[in-house]
Structure 1
């Protein structure tokens, strides 16, 4: 009971299902193992659900219609490649769990679920943050949120027999936005693998993550920004990585260009290695002779083998699964390891141009600034729906570098944090600062980031004519508006389609105020209009 009190019955149940007990084998029970299930399964799962709820609420806060999931048939037809991928991965999860439960192989379900949740949080949610936060438009945001909603709903139904309490909690909240739904998740039918599974896109996204991991390893090795990755797998994957998946690789790795290449021998030399674990039992005493011939295969023979899918050596027919083709990097003539380096896993080879590039240096600094802002928001316990403005103050004697970076990377920073990064000099004296922190030695720069609640900005030149030039009336209006709750004032402007009438100030004539002309809800809006 102590374990259940600490971690819950669902966590204990999953721990036991994933243990030797279900195979009638002995188990050395460890309480830490149950905690591992909470950490590796339930926390990522709940975080994905929480991210959905926060951004669904954000739509209403920003004045849009409440979130209602788009019907499943429309979601399945989404043109976004990651929507297609996670929908396919969800159908694969349904199919896998059905097959394993039919065979009573419960112990295989948890590892597969772990991988699925890792993909959901670290690929789909991470790479789609802009869409989920509405940075790419309301329509695209609703499609991404609906896709995430559908994936979470299906995964809850699939796992309900194994995690009945956790899935019920999530379902009871999710069903509030459904037109028709069962009263409990345990009244729902088990999902059927009805949607289309796209094995090609699933494999392409897996390889994309391999490319990103390989490139990161090179960057860590050299501690430098990246420039030009080139990859060398099959034609279908090259088409995907150069098209649908290109933007995700460029953004995640901060690279200028991505050049796919299908000329295997241009940057690599090939060698073949026998898979002893597969061939040993099958070939027996012939293993030594066959292994020698495999290792002696020429590059042309290896290419022919990959194309044909099989090769006969010493009277034995070997398939692709029997031989591992290793691609060793062949550095271009006249270049050094510090200029061009590579990394591969036998399937994909990634080549990076490491020579210095000023624009990538500035982009790298911008990413560091964005990272510090996001961490400061988290440190201040701000929710995604909590609106704040970010201010930047350089602590360096030579401020030209920071000014150049903020100018050249202005659009990237705005897209990443959802608002412009403002100079501290324009922060209103009455601004309420909710978090502030100094940072030193960030790519050779030192600066202060301040987060403040949005503050009203008045265009006195536009308001003055409304009161026939009476400055005292303008001051009274400003005092009144500053006393109002900011969120309520924003809602009134939204309800009035950008206009409100102020007629409640004693001895002051009523006036009609236009948002973006007479008054601005934040400094960022005012600066944008002024520019």
Structure 2
């Protein structure tokens, strides 16, 4: 229950648990404030954002904990936090999505400790009072740090998409550049999450963009600038594009509340009037992008071992989807058999050479189809994988 969670959180050192619980308290304060002012239209977008934070960040980054791959104690802690979060979310969503909230609540209610003193108030989510935030569970420092992690991971994924490198394939290095040392220190404490979230081998933090040959240039934002400049638009555009790194640094050093950033030909220039573009000056292995004061560089070159690891993930992800399609339980005694055509393909080489690694990931036997026994077949399917086609056959011992 909530009281037990409040007492256990004081001993919980997991960063992501602390973050999602603190983020929940911030949400509770926001919902109370907005509903007291009858601004109900602002609450739903915030709830949608909260669901995104829960599913795409907290749950994704804690899958191993939920499965018990860390330790049983850590698994139970993470599941207790998740249960609290879902229960709180059901109560918050009650006025907006009454049937879904009730459905969630009735499932979660079965997981709650039962007592002989259960009141009628516990029978429905719509009998519950809105949960109140607990100030002792708020940790703004961790909320700020995780927000920074989300920003840089989002930028890294943008670069991956630009270079058409799927997330399954690990890359050598991800460089994060920011002029504020405190921001880099916050990121340093969560470096593992960045590494996992982007599937990179190494994360480098730096405040020196010149070390990596990153140059800046300014481009005019014509939709806003054109209205201001009128006949001066050509000369203002030329002067904006002619700005040096020193000029751009001066603009960036000014706070968000400073207006205007500068004046060119008697035209006040605001932050929305210019775009700052970052690029790597020399031909290197890095691809750059920037946002919110961060400049990130992704080394998109991969050696043979990293490519092999990507192919292993291609194989295991397809097997996991087949297991899900066949409704195979993790505890079922299954064996996965495979056959690859053509046998000269890269995927055939990896399937054979990396069988042991694949079995470690699947935690099930992975064998050539020629070794198949008489066990009943659960599912079989041929699937294209990179430069070949793999026939998968999953059997289950009766």
Q: Tell me the TM-score normalised to structure 2 length.
A: 0.77
Query: What is the match of residue 466 of structure 1?
Result: none
SS in 1 for 2:297: strand
1:218 aligns with 2:152: no
Looking at structure 2, the residues matched to 222 and 162 of structure 1 have their Cα atoms a distance apart, in angstroms, of 37
Query: What is the match of residue 338 of structure 2?
Result: 392
Query: What is the match of residue 55 of structure 1?
Result: none
Q: CA deviation at 1:106?
A: 1.4
Looking at structure 2, the residues matched to 84 and 381 of structure 1 have their Cα atoms a distance apart, in angstroms, of 34
Query: What is the match of residue 188 of structure 1?
Result: 128
Asked if 2 retains the 8 angstrom alpha-carbon contact of 1:70 and 1:143, the reply is no
Query: What is the match of residue 386 of structure 2?
Result: 443
Q: CA deviation at 1:322?
A: 6.4
Q: CA deviation at 1:128?
A: 1.8
> What is the correspondence of 1:330-341 to structure 2 with a 5 Å cutoff?
330-333=280-283, 335=284, 339-341=285-287
Query: What is the match of residue 378 of structure 2?
Result: 434
Query: What is the match of residue 367 of structure 2?
Result: 423
Query: What is the match of residue 123 of structure 1?
Result: 57
SS in 2 for 1:451: strand
Alignment equivalent of 1:379, drawn from 317, 322, 325: 325
Distance 1:297 1:70, change over 3 A: farther
SS in 1 for 2:164: helix
Query: What is the match of residue 205 of structure 1?
Result: 149
Residue-by-residue CA offset, 1:375-432 (whole Å, 9 max, x unaligned): 11122133556553433344443489645566558447624x3x14421369673423
Alignment equivalent of 2:18, drawn from 80, 84, 90: 84
Asked if 2 retains the 8 angstrom alpha-carbon contact of 1:225 and 1:360, the reply is yes
Asked if 1 retains the 8 angstrom alpha-carbon contact of 2:251 and 2:261, the reply is no
Looking at structure 2, the residues matched to 164 and 75 of structure 1 have their Cα atoms a distance apart, in angstroms, of 30
Looking at structure 2, the residues matched to 387 and 249 of structure 1 have their Cα atoms a distance apart, in angstroms, of 35
Distance 1:429 1:390, change over 3 A: closer
Looking at structure 2, the residues matched to 413 and 304 of structure 1 have their Cα atoms a distance apart, in angstroms, of 55
Asked if 2 retains the 8 angstrom alpha-carbon contact of 1:269 and 1:329, the reply is yes
Alignment equivalent of 1:164, drawn from 98, 103, 109: 98
Tell me how many residue pairs correspond in the alignment: 378
Q: CA deviation at 1:154?
A: 0.9
Query: What is the match of residue 42 of structure 2?
Result: 108
Distance 1:212 1:151, change over 3 A: farther
Looking at structure 2, the residues matched to 107 and 384 of structure 1 have their Cα atoms a distance apart, in angstroms, of 43
Q: CA deviation at 1:274?
A: 8.0
Residue-by-residue CA offset, 1:176-226 (whole Å, 9 max, x unaligned): 232366232233221122120423134223214313422322331799863
Unaligned runs of 5+ in 1: 1-67, 456-485, 487-531
Looking at structure 2, the residues matched to 272 and 400 of structure 1 have their Cα atoms a distance apart, in angstroms, of 45
Looking at structure 1, the residues matched to 357 and 343 of structure 2 have their Cα atoms a distance apart, in angstroms, of 25
> What is the correspondence of 1:21-420 to structure 2 with a 5 Å cutoff?
71-75=5-9, 77-179=11-113, 182-194=122-134, 195-198=137-140, 199-220=143-164, 226-233=171-178, 234-244=180-190, 246-265=191-210, 266-271=212-217, 298-307=244-253, 309=255, 310=258, 313-314=262-263, 326-333=276-283, 335=284, 339-345=285-291, 347-383=293-329, 386=332, 388-398=334-344, 402=348, 404=350, 408=354, 410-411=356-357, 414-415=360-361, 417=362, 419-420=363-364
SS in 1 for 2:172: coil
Distance 1:221 1:389, change over 3 A: closer
Asked if 2 retains the 8 angstrom alpha-carbon contact of 1:70 and 1:146, the reply is no
SS in 2 for 1:256: strand
Comparing both structures, which one devotes a greater share of its residues to strand? Answer: 2
Q: Tell me the TM-score normalised to structure 1 length.
A: 0.60
Distance 1:410 1:434, change over 3 A: same
Asked if 2 retains the 8 angstrom alpha-carbon contact of 1:227 and 1:257, the reply is yes
Query: What is the match of residue 63 of structure 1?
Result: none
Return the structure number with greater relative CO, CA threshold 8 A, min gap 6. 2
Asked if 2 retains the 8 angstrom alpha-carbon contact of 1:366 and 1:413, the reply is no
